[in-house]
């Protein structure tokens, strides 16, 4: 698994430094560094390389019954709100695919998110089975269309799930980067998200790496 994730590519050092006036904050890695602490300068992580065609972040959200346990879905939606707000600030495009029950559907985008992120994300409900493969396939089709329309765009796939699925989804070919946020908890863990991250050459973070957002 690769470590770290570049929210958006921009000039400067990839870890903490960067050229004056050209640095952009890598928010996912910054939040993982701060964990539950107050944000301090030493937590900041920066980006490098300009994505000439812009960036699309495609989020795949697990809305199955198991995500209702321990407020996992509520925590996932809170993190989504924060990331949507960051995308809006950087004019990045996002898309949201929700899966649960027997299928998956696109709830937003691809588009630059607006100010009402929290209002509509809060209403997303959950229940039923965990059709992870359906969710990934839906995201894959969306990313394929985006690649044909904007071939120079950088496409990033985020999977928010507890991994409680026996499906074997295939890594979307049009995803330049993959990031798994694992919401699985408890002493008996399946570890499916970590397994898929390894198989796909993606990045992996447990939910608590992002602190109390």
Quickly state the pLDDT bin for 111 (edges 50, 70, 90).
very high
Q: Which helix (H) or strand (E) holds 145?
A: helix 132-149
pLDDT surpassing 60 at residue 2: no
Q: What is the 3-state secondary structure (H, E, C) of 58-121?
A: EEEEECCHHHHHHHHHHHHHHHHHHHHHHHHHHCCEEEEEEEECCEEEEEEEEECCCCCHHHHH
Helices 72-90, 27-34: inter-axial angle, 10-degree rounding: 130
- pLDDT tens digit sequence for 13-44: 333 333 333 456 666 667 766 666 777 777 77
More confidently predicted of 51 and 161: 161
- pLDDT tens digit sequence for 56-71: 999 999 999 988 888 8
Quickly state the pLDDT bin for 134 (edges 50, 70, 90).
very high
pLDDT of residue 60: 96
pLDDT of residue 170: 93
> What percentage of the chain reaches a pLDDT higher than 90?
42
Model pTM score: 0.76
Residue 46's CB: how many other CB atoms inside 10 A? 22
Residue 207 DSSP label: G
- pLDDT tens digit sequence for 194-203: 999 999 999 9
pLDDT of residue 28: 66
Q: What is the mean pLDDT of residues 143-172?
A: 91
| Least trusted range by pLDDT, from 11-15, 110-114, 159-163, 168-172 | 11-15
Quickly state the pLDDT bin for 9 (edges 50, 70, 90).
very low
pLDDT of residue 127: 85
pLDDT surpassing 80 at residue 100: yes
- Look at residues 52, 49, 57 and name the one whose alpha carbon lies nearest to residue 9: 49
Report all structural domains of the chain as residue ranges with CATH numbers, in order of start.
Answer: 51-210 (3.40.50.410)
> What percentage of the chain reaches a pLDDT higher than 70?
79
């Amino acid at each position: 698994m690769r470590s770290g994730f570049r929210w958006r590519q921009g000039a400067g050092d990839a870890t903490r430094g960067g050229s004056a006036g050209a640095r952009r904050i890598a928010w996912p890695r910054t939040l993982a560094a701060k964990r539950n602490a107050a944000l301090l300068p030493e937590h900041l992580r920066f980006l490098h390389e300009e994505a000439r065609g812009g960036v699309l972040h495609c989020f795949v959200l697990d809305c199955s019954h198991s995500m209702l346990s321990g407020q996992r879905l509520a925590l996932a939606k809170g993190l989504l709100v924060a990331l949507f707000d960051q995308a809006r600030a950087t004019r990045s495009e996002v898309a949201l695919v929700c899966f649960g029950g027997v299928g998956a559907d696109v709830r937003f985008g691809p588009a630059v998110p607006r100010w009402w992120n929290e209002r509509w994300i809060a209403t997303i409900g959950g229940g039923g089975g965990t059709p992870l493969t359906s969710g990934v396939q839906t995201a894959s089709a969306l990313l394929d269309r985006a690649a044909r329309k904007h071939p120079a765009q950088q496409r990033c796939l985020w999977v928010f799930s507890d991994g409680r699925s026996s499906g074997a989804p295939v890594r979307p070919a049009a995803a330049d980067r993959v990031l798994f946020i694992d919401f699985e908890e408890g002493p008996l863990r399946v570890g499916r998200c970590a397994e898929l991250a390894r198989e796909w050459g993606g990045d992996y973070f447990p939910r608590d790496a992002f602190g109390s957002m």
